[in-house]
Amino acid sequence: PIAISGLCFLWLIYPGAQTYIYVSTKLEAGAGGFNSDGWRNSTLIQQLKSYSLGGTIYSNEPSAIYILSEVSTTSNIKRYPYDDLNRSTAARAQFKAEVASDAKTTYLVWIDNQSLLDPKRTFENFDNISSMFALDEIDRFPDGSIHLFK
């Protein structure tokens, strides 16, 4: 009876202990997604919070920029259409014309820290993009960079 009581006690305590460990880890490191330490401590995101770009922003991770940098309503954030641009030269020409005709300044905010990006999605290599377009690098950070379309 004592052995059975001891086993029952352990059987009840173990899930509680594991839950405590899991919750305390998540409280410390973040729940994941855009609430992870990597995103919260991103120097690129911190820069975007303190310096508003105020124009059209293309990015490989526009949701993170919109949610975390608290961009102003003067910014228009769009996903960089790398799949379409790689498939078609006509799409590339159309995109260049769209950027050129935009009355606002057009930026490319590129996140290149693979640990921040969704591993289920394929992301374009930045070198391919920089070979397609004339870009001025405004600033570089350990986790990404900000560029201006010329």
Convert the pLDDT of each residue in 104-123 to its tens digit.
Answer: 889 999 998 887 887 776 66
What three-state secondary structure class fits 72?
coil
Q: What is the mean pLDDT of residues 95-101?
A: 85
Q: How confident is the model at residue 147 (pLDDT cuts 50, 70, 90)?
A: very high
Structure tokens at 100: 């050129």
Convert the pLDDT of each residue in 12-22 to its tens digit.
Answer: 888 888 888 87
CA distance 150 to 107: 9
Q: How confident is the model at residue 100 (pLDDT cuts 50, 70, 90)?
A: confident
DSSP state of 17: H
CA distance 131 to 44: 23
